[in-house]
Chain A
Amino acid sequence: MKRLSVGSWLVGIVALLYFIVPLVATAQFSFQEGPGQPFWAAYTSILESAQFWQSLRLSLGMALAAVVIGLIVVVPAAYWAYLRVPQLKPWIEFVSILPFVVPPIVLVLGLVRLYASGFGPLSARVTMLMGAYGVVSLPYMFRSIDTGLRSMNVKALTEAALGMGASWTRIMFQVVLPNIRQSLLGGAFLTFALIMGEYAISSMLGFNTFGVYMLLTGQTQAQGAAALAIIAFILVWFFVAIMQWVSRNSITTIGGSR
């Protein structure tokens, strides 16, 4: 038992070093002052740039769009499967986790090839971006909605509401959504963390998302790159912490912005 404990401490210390040193090095690099400038100069120049805020707003707006898409496509299907056709549940789950087998770069290639021109609104780059983000976050939106529906009594609540003469719209907005609110929030914040720094899809479609802005800035400003890495880390920490706090479990993400 004693030996095991020593081994565990060793593992813990090595892991701590591996995970902390890059953060320390990045912070240290971001604080290296230029001549005649305060040590936080890299941060002020980023936080004062309009592009930083524009790109961050674009990325978070697109993440919000992905969450809304997830709501619109997954909630009705999953709800109805829980209520009336449980035999369809595995199929909905299957479709929802399929995006995992199509890497983002392949997804954007497929979208551009198929819809580049002649498909009206589908050919708009912003439609492709929102659609792609919707696809990328689909597995996580599904997982959180599924968790929410499983923890409420779909059948009893729906029948009670129907018996009292509620319409389907009313059931959706006043019974189902409030009941799965918590797990939905978890999925939403996870999607924010996932989409925020996304690069492959948005750069191919020519958008200045936060990921693209980070790369462009980093190519010209070494300290700026380090400062952006720290800012991104804090943002991811913020979203993931809220996600874990809200949904009390950690959903693992695969693929996405890597």
Chain B
Amino acid sequence: MAEVSLARAEPAVAQRVRGLVGAVWFLPLAVFSLIFLFLPSIGLFVGSVAGSHGATLTYYAQLFQAQYLDAYKVSVELSAATAIIGAFAGLVLAWAVVGGGLPRVLRPFTLTFSGVASNFAGIPLAFAFTSTLGPVGLVTVFLKSLHINLYAAGFSLFGFWGLVITYLYFQIPLMVLLIVPALDHLHTWREAATNLGATPFQFWRFVGLPILRLPLLGALMLLFGNSFGAYATAYALTSGMINLVPILIGQELSGNVVFSPSLADAMAVGMVLIMVAIFVVYLVANRRSVRWQS
């Protein structure tokens, strides 16, 4: 009742009141993301710069010590390798399925399987590849019977390239899912180009790749981020013995190794900064490609 009479007397105040009532609808999201996302992230940042005598950059300087720098290097290399190989392989596979080279019935199957495989990650994926390419895995033993000894040749599932091969099991399907919509779009362009007499080379050089440039860039960023934050697969495969940033953070958190908590905070902030950079490129690429296509 009070609100109604207020509305008649003071429209501006009433509007303010209505606006505040409306804000209630946003409260759950605001409170939840503040408590469980923003404050913890800010806390990490504060922890990483808080020294005993005020703010300090000591811990960021420590990140440049050989061991931690190497962890960043390996993390970035692993993510870049799986993103680039995964994007290329996923693009080729998606084009084979969508572009008409393979029977159409394979399309729904490929998409469903990609949805499954891109979510089949972490501990069970590590187990599956141990059964396949581990020291007594099926493929390792089979190749040995052909006198090809993978492990004698220097390969190890528990090293860098072993991780790459394993990660590709979720990276390639993710790429397929990300790029199929863009390729569907491309399909009509190819018909138009072919009807105008373009050769396949001309089509890809002047139409296909220019159209795909931005979606490809966006997908590359997502694939990079997808692998950069990965923990479980690498941990299960290498028993935590590989020098990756997430593994180091995990060691600190589970108390296996004692190094300064602030150093772990700085490492985590470093990860977030890299992810933010990746994400900004993704957003820009995504926005431009959407604008271009519409």
Using a CB–CB cutoff of 8 Å, the interface residues on chain A facing chain B are 4-5, 7-9, 11-12, 15, 18-19, 21-26, 28-30, 69, 72-74, 76-77, 79-80, 84-85, 88, 92, 95-96, 98-115, 122, 131-132, 134-135, 138, 193-194, 197-200, 203-204, 211, 214-215, 218, 225-226, 228-229, 232-233, 236-237, 239-241, 243-244, 250, 252-258
Contacts and interface: CB of A to CB of B under 8 A. Distances in A.
A239 B117 CA distance: 12
B80 interface: no
Nearest to A76: B25
A244 B93 contact: no
Determine chain B's interface SS by DSSP, over half rule. Answer: helix
A106 B138 contact: no
A41 B229 CA distance: 36
Interface residues of B, number: 86
B132 A132 contact: no
B268 A106 contact: yes
Contact of A122 (B35, B92, B101, B170): B35
B114 interface: yes
A109 B101 contact: no
Nearest to A119: B35
A134 B96 contact: no
Given A5-B101, A105-B229, A243-B115, A228 B124 contact: yes
Contacts of A122: 35
Determine chain A's interface SS by DSSP, over half rule. Answer: helix
5 contacts: A19-B169, A26-B128, A193-B119, A239-B119, A244-B112
B131 A229 contact: yes
Interface stretch (B9-17, B60-68, B270-278): B270-278
A203 B256 CA distance: 13
A23 B36 contact: no
A107 B253 contact: no
B102 A204 contact: no
Contacts of A22: 128-129, 131-132, 169
Interface string B255-289: 00000010011001001100110110000000000
A177 B267 CA distance: 42
Contact of A258 (B122, B127, B137): B122
Interface of B: 22, 25-26, 28-29, 32-33, 35-37, 39-41, 43-44, 47, 89, 92-93, 95-97, 99, 101-102, 106, 111-125, 127-132, 137-139, 168-170, 172, 174, 177-178, 200, 222, 225-233, 235-236, 246, 249-250, 252-254, 261, 264-265, 268, 271-272, 275-276, 278-279
A197 B124 contact: yes
Contacts of B96: 7-8, 11-12, 15
A102 B226 contact: no
Contact of A77 (B25, B89, B116, B169): B25
Contacts of A79: 25
Contacts of A19: 113, 117, 169
